[in-house]
Structure 1
């Protein structure tokens, strides 16, 4: 049964792409959003985009959430939408009836937030030692709501970083829209040496989870282990406000970044890959479609 965004109480887990904060952002940008109840405790956010000639394309990213695997599979099997349905499942799934697998699964790093002592004890020894060194350096850490004019230096640095490393992040318009419709839920963690910013990081808040969105560094920040201190301060800030999980994002390399994420005490959580269901007139052709050998999500 479809409900308007925000109607169903948030349940854990709550990845960004299944959150009310994300639904608010998509709606403000003109994307059609629907949130369904799944069984007694679950929910699923579906986004629909309309394309000339193609018509509606539906996407479920890391959903459904809050229900067991059987209920989630039954929901996806019986879900009625117009046009193709693409599902990036949030858990490993050997198969989904009526769907063809397009890509294999990836993994994300999920960090449980609790007490200061417990989180400190869960740090890998090398990560904890780097944090100790950072705590002795003359760095000032700030945690402020995102403001486009005030944090232009961070966005410019990230855009330059994207060109160098050949990846894509949210366009600035999406980030600004998220900030506008979810006041105070984008936190900018910055490290300063004197008055000069040497490292920056953006955390997206969507209770009871938060998501590590982007980060930039300088040689001075890197040598001072600024990112260790910034993540640690973010962990404390979120835990003190009742957040339960910090999603550190995909574990896809480079190896140093993966180690940085997992050594915070985060655990590797396997997603379920990408699946496609075509409209009924095209369903008989599914059996003849093959995923290219070795293709990865």
Structure 2
């Protein structure tokens, strides 16, 4: 018999994490480890668990946040996750979400499904979810099948990428595994990269907390590229379930001809393969840029263009399902769009202006 449990202040849960790790679609953003990280930065973690007797057969981790003016917003990244033998569990979870949203005054729930099966998407649509105009995890990325041989992995790369990897090896670039003592140096690399590209900046405490939550269990590795003891580049990769995901990377502008980033990505990928991981996700690329590059069209001039071109050198583009939104408490459409933008840190200027206007 199936029974459900809703945990409003969810903490670390080894049983839930174990279920995710064994599931082909289990993703680190659904893990209790990730939930603990987000809880340190303003999010409430709610977990819905569905069990058959004492065994978990499905569930969803919801991150909720209170926004000034609007109320609460909820987000489910790469979930719900359900056992393949219990597809009916998806509906049970959505019923619990609906009840929860109305009870806790969550006016919007955004779900980014883990799999692109028509049955899954049909259930979302049946429950009044509609394709969102925003995403947190980009639906387009590069996914590498790590069950291939090393030669096969190289053969699926663009020739320039293969040449860059071999050039880095020949020119003396060395990859080392970092520790917590290397986090300040990595954060400096991130700041250099973000200042050049104008990407979203996280404070050092965010990376330190991510390390604190994920590294002790072996779910995070810090890889560093050196040339003659000079730190050139760094990569924080997350290893969870069957997946390797490149989370954050940074580099200097020293010795660009030595191609440290290519060797860094290759090393993190090979290490995951050796440990038995099945897939490597390079961390998302802009859908507009990726589509233009794959069709041999010049992409729009934006900050994501160079990164998309770089990642596509390692393999083909993969598209995950888009996010689906459900509005449980009636709000004007413009308010919903602004609320989503603010929740993901994309429209803070608008919100500050709105709050000042209300105070007047």
TM-score range, shorter chain: 0.7 to 0.9
Instruction: Give the aligned length.
Output: 288
Q: Does residue 214 of structure 1 match 2:248?
A: yes
Partner of 1:260: 310
- 1:233 CA drift (Å): 0.9
Does the C-alpha gap of structure 1 residues 201 and 289 become closer, same or farther in structure 2, counting only changes over 3 Å? closer
Superposed CA offset, 1:80-107 (max 9, x none): 2122242141356586333354416642
Cα deviation for residue 46 of structure 1 reads 1.0
* One of 95, 103, 109 as aligned partner of 2:133: 103
Is residue 74 of structure 1 aligned with residue 95 of structure 2?
no
Rate the CA distance shift 1:227–1:237 in 2: closer, same or farther, 3 A. Answer: same
Instruction: Spell out, residue by residue over 1:22-74, the C-alpha distance to the aligned partner (whole angstroms, 9 max, x if none).
Output: 12323455743233346975432112334577654322123223567975863
- TM-score normalised by length of structure 2: 0.67
Q: Identify if the C-alpha distance between structure 1 residues 38 and 124 changes in structure 2 by more than 3 Å, giving closer, same or farther.
A: farther
Partner Cα distance (1:32, 1:267) in 2: 33
| CA spacing shift, 1:169–1:125, aligned 2, 3 Å | same
1:1-297, aligned counterparts within 5 Å? 1-2=4-5, 5-8=13-16, 9-10=19-20, 11-27=23-39, 31-37=43-49, 41-50=57-66, 56-66=72-82, 71=88, 74-75=91-92, 77-78=94-95, 79=97, 80-81=99-100, 82=104, 83-90=106-113, 91=115, 93=121, 96=125, 97-103=127-133, 106-114=139-147, 115-145=149-179, 147=180, 149-182=181-214, 183=216, 184-252=218-286, 253=289, 254-279=304-329, 282=330
Secondary structure of 1:130 counterpart:
helix
Q: Take 1:172 and 1:274, find their aligned partners in 2: how far apart are those partners?
A: 32
Question: Runs of 5+ in structure 1 lacking a partner?
Answer: none
- Structure 1 CA distance, aligned partners of 2:63 and 2:78? 12
TM (norm. structure 1) is: 0.80
SS of 1:103 mapped into structure 2: coil
SS of the aligned residue for 1:168 comes to: coil
Deviation at 1:275? 1.4
Structure (1/2) with the larger helix percentage: 2
Alignment RMSD (CA, Å): 3.5
Higher relative contact order (CA 8 A, sep 6+): 1
Q: Which runs of 5+ in 2 are unaligned?
A: 290-303, 347-360
